[in-house]
Chains A and B, each alone.
Chain A
Amino acid sequence: MKLLLLLSLLTSTAQAFTLNNNFGASFKDSKVNVYVDVQTTCSNAGVTIYELEDLVKEATASYWNTVATSSLRLKPAGFSSATSNISTGRLCSATDDACIAAAQGAGNLIPPVNDIVIACNDLDANFGGAGVLAVTIPNKFSGKKIAGAVILLNNDSSPPTNFANLSRSDKIAVLAHELGHAIGLGHAKGSEALMYYKTVKLRRNLSQDDIDGVSFLYPVTLDACGLFATVEQPRGGGPPFLQMALTLGLFVLLIELRRLLNRAKARTPA
């Protein structure tokens, strides 16, 4: 037992995933639609809504949809109908009564949405500076489940947003990071994590903390018949039939080879 504990200590890691709420909230359905608001304009952010739609597709495919131990599948769903105030209004957490009251008083509260809606927004109060590239708040809950989240890209012109100066891969990473918040994740301590609070030199993949986090919030479970659940592999395009066929073929080949060798031995005179 002492040896096992010692071995366990050798695997300790300093980093971990966190959540953006204290009750482990996640979307009820692990297949979540991601929309771009049809009326949003992102002129200062340096993208058109069609480019934004493409970036969303890459962000979902390259990051969150690649995790085999998670049932989450983000589905780029094109353009949503216009959400009032989404391009100029104030985004408030569902529990921030002061923010909600002030925004309602000003008539610019962004209402709760269903699924995930992405838009560009130029209200400085949402971002607090050009260095904040985007903000995300799950602003609709159904009990302890997330029902909707809004992602706002900084489209402010005064001061001008830094989003426009990012490379394409960095824009994709920023969107993927915000999608992480939308599905319930908080920040991570380590700079290798997508959920690290700022952009880094080169972001290509999820870190183990990101993978652990999305696997925790959206685990793969047994189906109703109690059979094993196999999550489709987006990169491979489905169950590994080819690999299984090759494995079976290899076995058949080896068995035949052994038969031939045995036969050859039997024929060889002593």
Chain B
Amino acid sequence: MARAKSTKTIEAISFNVGPHTENFNAVQSDASGGKRKFDFAPTIGAGLLIPWRPWDLGLLFLPELNWVLPQFSGESRIVKNIFMLRSDLGYDVLPWLRLRAGTSLMWLNQHGRGGSTELENGNTTSTFYYPEENRSSLNNTVDLGAEALYEDFSFRFQTYT
């Protein structure tokens, strides 16, 4: 859902909240070979709606910054954040339907707080370690999305590849 407010030079500012799923249908989720379809990873963001004036094609430039809220694992020893700097072009096919396509810079950051744990290893147990530093991955993605518009709100479905 997004709520838009008008300004003079920028047609609208939007705020969004929703779930994010990494690696849709490609991640094993149980010991029987089941794959994870959807994940609940809360994401918040803010964006702008800027009419794309060149060529008068009715396109919209939709820059956006999203943050997948911190995910904790390993007794909170590892914290994962994902940030996305997105730049979509949008087109209102119908007054209530907007199609979006664009690219994002996705920044995956993982911070380890160190420590160790005893886990089974063969017929005995061994000590394994949590990371003790901060590392990041940067990726470009190609994005496609569709947005249903209603007054100042919208519902969006978006893919990242």
Which of A's residues lie within 8 Å of B, judged by CB? 4, 7-8, 10-24, 66, 68-71, 127-129, 131-132, 135, 186-189, 191-194, 196-198, 200-209, 211-212, 215-217, 219-222, 228-231, 240, 243-244, 247, 250-251, 254-255, 258
Check: B13 CB closer than 8 A to any chain A CB.
Answer: no
Q: Which of B102-152 contact A (CB under 8 A)?
A: 105-106, 108, 110, 112, 116-117, 119-124, 126, 128-133, 135-140, 142, 144
Given contacts A191-B30, A254-B99, contact A208 B22 (CB under 8 A): yes
CB A140 to nearest CB in B, in angstroms, measures 19
Contact partners of A18 in chain B: CB under 8 A: 74, 117, 119, 128-130
B158 in the interface, Cβ–Cβ < 8 Å? no
Task: Report which of A20, A129, A201, A206 forms a contact with B32, defined as CB distance below 8 A.
Answer: A201
Chain B 69-84, CB-CB to A under 8 Å as 1, else 0, gives 1111111111010000
State how many angstroms separate the Cβ of A7 from the closest Cβ of chain B: 4
A204-B33, A243-B142 given; A187·B161 CB < 8 A: no
State whether A231 touches B139 (Cβ < 8 A).
Answer: yes
- Determine the main DSSP class of A at the interface with B: loop
Measured between beta carbons, the chain A residues less than 8 angstroms from B31 are 191-192, 196, 200-202
Minimum C-beta distance from B104 to chain A (A): 10
23 interchain pairs (CB within 8 A)? A10-B42, A11-B71, A12-B76, A13-B73, A16-B130, A17-B78, A18-B119, A22-B116, A24-B112, A128-B123, A129-B122, A129-B123, A131-B123, A192-B29, A203-B28, A216-B131, A219-B137, A221-B138, A229-B139, A243-B142, A247-B101, A247-B142, A258-B58
Say whether chain B's binding surface is mostly helix, strand, loop, or mixed. strand
CB neighbours (8 Å) of A14 from chain B are 73
The answer to whether B32 touches A16, judged by C-beta atoms less than 8 angstroms apart, is no
Nearest first, the 10 closest Cβ-Cβ pairs linking A and B are: A16-B74, A202-B33, A186-B128, A16-B73, A18-B128, A200-B31, A219-B137, A7-B42, A191-B31, A205-B28
